[in-house]
Amino acid sequence: MENLIEFLEQVELLSEESKEILRSFLYIEKLKKGSFFLELGAICNKIGFVKSGIIRVQFFNESGEEFTRYFINEKHFAVDLTSFNDRSPSKEYLQALTDMELVIITREAMEYFSTAISNWDSIIRKLTEKALLEKLKLSNEMVLDDAYTRYHKLMERQPGIVQRIPLNIIASYLGVSQYTLSRIRNRYR
C-alpha cells in the first residue's frame, strides 16, 4: 500500500491523517496469470494500482477478432474509467498477463476519500487528466505511426513488457502478424 501512497504524494502531499485513512481502506488483491480484473459487460467497481505484474486491456471486434488496446504495468492504474464513473457495463476486458498484485480502491472508498481527505479530488483530477492525455497520445500514435515506430516506442516506454509476455500479444497490440513482429524485432536489434 505504501507504493500507492508514495505515488499519490508525487502529485500532492498527503497529511499523516490522510495516509492513515488510505491505509484503513486499501487492500491487496492477487491475480493469477490469465484471470480477469474486469470482464466484458461487468460494471467496474474498483480501481487497481499495479504493484507487480502486467494487465492487458483487450476487446473483440464484431467479427470476434481479439485486439490488445494497451498494457498496464507497475505504478499504473487498472480501471475502465467510463464504466467506473458512469456505472455502465465495460466494453473491454482487463486480463492479467502475469501473476499480479494490485492495491485496490473500491468505489465506496473513493467516495469516502472524497469527503475525508481534503485534497483527494484534486489528486484524482490531476491523475485522470494525465492518464487521459497519455491515452490520447497513444491512440494517435497507433493510428499515425508504422509498426516499427510503434514497437520502438513500446520498447522505450515499457521495455520490460516484451520479455514478460507472449509475442502473439505484442503482435496483436502492434496490429501485425507474428512473422512481421519477428522482422521488426530483428531490425530493431
Euclidean distance between the first and the last CA atom of the chain, given in angstroms as a whole number = 38
Same domain, 24 and 90: yes
The helix/strand/coil state of 31 is: strand
Structural domain of 185? 145-189
Distance CA 82, CA 73 (A): 20
Range list of β-strands (E), the chain: 27-31, 36-38, 46-52, 55-60, 66-72, 77-78, 93-96, 100-106
Same domain, 8 and 89: yes
Same domain, 160 and 119: no
Q: Residue-wise pLDDT tens for the chain (189 aa)?
A: 788 999 999 999 999 999 999 999 999 999 999 999 999 999 999 999 999 999 999 988 888 788 888 899 999 999 999 999 999 999 999 999 999 999 999 999 999 999 999 999 999 999 999 888 888 887 777 778 888 998 988 888 888 888 888 888 999 888 898 899 999 988 887
Single out the residue of 15, 85, 11 nearest to residue 47, CA to CA.
85
